[in-house]
Amino acid sequence: MTMTPNLPLSPLPSRAGRARPIAVGGPEDDDGRRRGGDDANFETGTVTKTRPKTKRPNLYRVLLLNDDYTPMEFVVLVLQDVFNKSREDAMQIMLHVHQKGVGECGVYPYEVAETKVTRVMDTARKNQHPLQCVMEKQ
């Protein structure tokens, strides 16, 4: 009987020098948001991270500061005109600022907040009132 010479067993493909799948975190990112799901393909060593492409806009609070000179009625009109508040809400916010020194007029994406601050400052300057309006990252 003829014997086929024993061929050396072919070694298992080595991973040396090739990308290996890596463990990809838990169910949440650093900021606590869920990812869409992770998929590690161990055949090819390819790790695909998928996450929803939705981004929360950076939001900014627009604040009014109190001063001793700007007339209450002017502040109420600014709140109605620039921040689209009802007369009642505008009065409440103005009184809050008057009593506490600072108060929130609204929360908006960066460019909207910036435009509102500019409108308040422009109308205050034109009317020679020292009213101050600022924005801060939420």
In the complex with ligand TYC, the residue whose CB is nearer, 62 or 97, is 97
Other C-beta atoms closer than 10 Å to the C-beta of 131 total: 21
Min dist. Cβ of residue 92 to ligand TYC (A): 12
- Does position 94 interact with ligand TYC (CB under 6 A)? The reply is yes
114: helix, strand or coil: helix
Asked whether the beta carbons of 1 and 17 are under 8 A apart, the reply is no
**From CA 74, how far away is CA 23, in angstroms rounded?**
60
- Does position 131 interact with ligand TYC (CB under 6 A)? The reply is yes
| Binding positions for ligand TYC, 52-81, rule CB under 6 A | 64-68, 70-72, 75
In the complex with ligand TYC, the residue whose CB is nearer, 60 or 70, is 70
- Does position 135 interact with ligand TYC (CB under 6 A)? The reply is no
In the complex with ligand TYC, the residue whose CB is nearer, 4 or 99, is 99
**From CA 89, how far away is CA 80, in angstroms rounded?**
8
Closest CA relative to residue 42, chosen from 22, 56, 27, 68: 22
**From CA 41, how far away is CA 25, in angstroms rounded?**
15
In the complex with ligand TYC, the residue whose CB is nearer, 40 or 65, is 65
- Does position 109 interact with ligand TYC (CB under 6 A)? The reply is no
Min dist. Cβ of residue 61 to ligand TYC (A): 14
Stretch that binds ligand TYC, among 10-18, 51-59, 82-90, 91-99 (CB under 6 A): 91-99
Tokens of residue 67, six digits: 């001063």
